[in-house]
Amino acid sequence: MKDPLPSEPQPPSRPRPWLHEVIPPLVLGTATFNTQYVPDPFDLPAASIVSRALDLGVTAFDTSPYYGPSETILGNALAHPSVTSRHSRSSYFLVTKAGRIAGDEFDYSPEWIRYSVYRSLERLHTPYLDLVYTHDVEFVSPAEVLAAVRELRRLRDEEGLIRYVGISGYPVGKLCDLAEMILRETGEPLDAVLSYGHFTIQNTTLGNADNAMRRFQDAGVDVVLNASMLGMGLLTTRGADAGPMSSWHPSPEGLRQACQDLVPVAVDADEKLEVVAIRWALDNWAVAGAVRGSGASRLPAGTRVGVSVMGISNIAELEETYRVFNSVLEGLEPDSPDAELMSRRQWSRDRRVKVQAVVEKMWAVLGKWRDYSWNSPGPGFVNTRKAEDIGVTPDDGVLARHKPKLIVQVSTEQVPALL
Distance CA(229)–CA(35), nearest Å, equals: 20
Distance CA(134)–CA(193), nearest Å, equals: 10
Q: CA angle, corner 115, sides to 110 and 116, nearest 5? A: 100
Residue 74 vs residues 51, 62, 297, 317: alpha-carbon distances, Å: 11, 9, 24, 17
- Is-catalytic flag, 66? no
Distance CA(115)–CA(120), nearest Å, equals: 9
Which residue among the candidates 37, 66, 67, 196 is catalytic per the annotation?
67
Which residues, at least 6 apart from 118, have a Cβ–Cβ distance to it below 8 Å?
161, 398, 399, 401, 402
Closest CA to 91 of 117, 66, 126: 126
- The residue type found at 398 is V
Cβ count near 158 (within 10 Å):
13
Which residues are designated catalytic?
67
